[in-house]
Amino acid sequence: MQPVQTDVDPVLKPLNPIRAVLYDVYGTLFISASGDLGKNVLQNETADRLFKQYRLDSTLSAGELARRFEAEIRKAHHSEKARGADFPEVRYDVLWQNILGTQNTETARIWALVYELAVNPVFPMPFAKEVIEGLKRSGMRQGLISNAQFFTPLLFPALMQADMETLGIDPELVFFSCQWGRAKPSPLLFKEALERLLHFHVQPETVLFIGNDMLNDILPARSAGFCTALFAGDRRSLRLRRDMEKCRNLSPDLVITEWNQLLDCLKEP
């Protein structure tokens, strides 16, 4: 996969001092046709090929699996909103246990992973790995705030040839929606990240958050007091949200269209 060029111009300038960089995953570090988890239509041909490859047998068609998956998400969201959740998140392995009628977590996780491979193929953004590794060598703290599932960490060794920590992502600065029961743009993930960073004596104004979505990424990161960078390197996943009032007058500190633009913005002037 290759990113699709956008018509957005980069906005680049020095941002000093930055002591921590936090990333979104889907549509930012990884090319994602949907820019998020599980948002594309499940195609019968793709599903059948993957089910055969992973030796999964189902009496349900791809269309019925997709309908049941969406129904389980709606059911879980309704239940959590009734309890007061602003932007509830679900655990895909639990959903698939319900869909398949099994208590076997491993079986449900395999189905969840294969389904995601079918609806949302991903591939690393050019130079993303090199940037993470370069910032690791400079001593920069790095983390993730993402709408993500149990299988998201698998992307890194599978597609970047190293696990998250080896690349330079601090495990204590990883905040995935499935672990907290809240999805972006809920401020919860950013609040938790801020508290963890303050524990490390890192102030919010010295943190840079990078994401591809003005609503889900830039708005809550700005509200947390972080510096922000919009990743505008792929037309498929870029979300400018110009029709939304809360995003209309919102401007990120940086706009990057290629990952190799970032390092110069973090150098000493």
Token digits of residue 104: 């076997």
Q: What is the pLDDT of residues 5-16, one digit of tens each?
A: 999 999 999 998
Kindly indicate the confidence band of residue 38, based on its pLDDT and cuts at 50, 70 and 90.
low
Confidence (pTM)? 0.92
Token digits of residue 80: 């959590």
Burial 216-255 (b: 16+ CB within 10 A, else e): bbbbbbbebebbbbbbbbbeebbbbbeeeeebeebebbbb
**pLDDT > 60? residue 58:** yes
**pLDDT > 90? residue 101:** no
Average pLDDT on 244-258 reads 94
pLDDT at 269 (0 to 100) = 47
Q: What is the pLDDT of residues 142-177, one digit of tens each?
A: 999 999 999 999 999 999 999 999 999 999 999 999
**pLDDT > 80? residue 19:** yes
pLDDT at 237 (0 to 100) = 93
> CA–CA distance from 222 to each of 46, 137, 219 (Å)?
39, 27, 5
* Helical spans, DSSP H, in the chain: 44-53, 62-82, 92-100, 105-119, 128-137, 155-160, 164-167, 177-180, 188-199, 219-223, 245-248, 262-265
Q: How far apart are CA 9 and CA 12, in angstroms?
A: 10
- Residues with Cβ within 8 Å of 240's Cβ and at least 6 positions away in sequence, in order, are 8, 214, 247
Q: Taking the CB of residue 16, how many other CB atoms lie within 10 A of it?
A: 12
pLDDT at 45 (0 to 100) = 65
Choice between 27 and 48, residue whose per-residue pLDDT is larger: 27
pLDDT at 253 (0 to 100) = 97
Q: Which of 73, 51, 21 is nearest to 228 (CA)?
A: 21
Helices vs. strands in the chain: H and E counts, helices first: 12, 8
> CA–CA distance from 124 to each of 10, 133, 180, 194 (Å)?
20, 14, 25, 27
Which amino acid belongs to residue 203? Answer: Q
**pLDDT > 90? residue 56:** no
In angstroms, how far is CA 58 from the centroid of its own chain? Answer: 29
